[in-house]
Amino acid sequence: MSTPYSCILFDLDGTIVDSAPGITSTLAYMFERLGLPIPTPSELLTYVGPPLLDSFRDYAGFDAAQSAVALEIYREKYLNVGAYDATQYPGVGLVLKAVHESPIPMSLATSKPETPATLILEHFNLARYFDIITGASDDEVRSAKKDVVAEALIRLAAMGADVSRPVLVGDREHDVHGAAANNVPTIFVEWGYGSVAEQAGAIATVSTPEELQRLLLG
């Protein structure tokens, strides 16, 4: 079987699942708990995808101490409730299954911490398709996409995978940039949260899971 890629990395939020409802509702709860005005729904949506601590800094203007308090409030609520308020994108599970049944090893590569990422994949019965689940560290010290991608490649190589021709599948500009920092090309999915402008730098864009499967498996 001739395939264009030797290993595949998958983003989670906006690529495999629409997790925005659970994330934005948990953020609204967090702002309320902190006694702060709750941002508009469109403003909350900008938090979905990038590392959460970056979003706290860039969008809420939190310093490190404020971010630590906010993260603790957010995490407790999200792990118990918000993580399950998500919807699997139709057809994506079939792509994951097809890759799993191919010789190509696959790792998750998400800026979401590994504990909730694993819970979500298990909730949708998708964890079984991945050789490795790589995400941010639970303390979010490793959360930058470039660091997550690097860690995924290290873990794949450690299991004996060929990492000479990797590709990342994602939906936001931080996916494209984080992958590029590791010399990994990105296939951009149009059904996620990213704008057209965020596609810049991707080697391809796809509008359906069927298109994605053809690109991944040749």
Residue (of 176, 170, 181) closest to 212 by Cα position: 170
CA distance 24 to 110: 18
CA distance 215 to 204: 9
CA distance 32 to 105: 43
Residue (of 102, 92, 99) closest to 13 by Cα position: 92
CATH number, span 20-84: 1.10.150.240
Tell me what pLDDT residue 184 has: 98
Domain 7-18+86-217 and domain 20-84 have a common topology: no
CA distance 108 to 178: 14
Domain definitions of the chain by residue range: 7-18+86-217, 20-84
Amino acid at 94: L
Q: Which CATH number fits domain 7-18+86-217: 1.10.357.10, 3.40.50.1000, 3.40.50.1360, 2.30.42.10?
A: 3.40.50.1000
Largest CA distance in the chain: 57
Decide if 19 contacts 13 (C-beta within 8 A): yes
Tell me what pLDDT residue 1 has: 47
Q: Tens of pLDDT along the chain (218 residues)? A: 467 999 999 999 999 999 999 999 999 999 999 999 999 999 999 998 888 999 999 999 999 999 999 999 999 999 999 999 999 999 999 999 999 999 999 999 999 999 999 999 999 999 999 999 999 998 777 889 999 999 999 999 999 999 999 999 999 999 999 999 999 999 999 999 999 999 999 999 999 999 999 999 98
Q: What is the pTM of this model?
A: 0.91
Decide if 202 contacts 176 (C-beta within 8 A): yes
Tell me what pLDDT residue 143 has: 84
Tell me what pLDDT residue 2 has: 61
Tokens at 167, concatenated: 């590709």
Tell me what pLDDT residue 125 has: 98
Tell me what pLDDT residue 141 has: 77
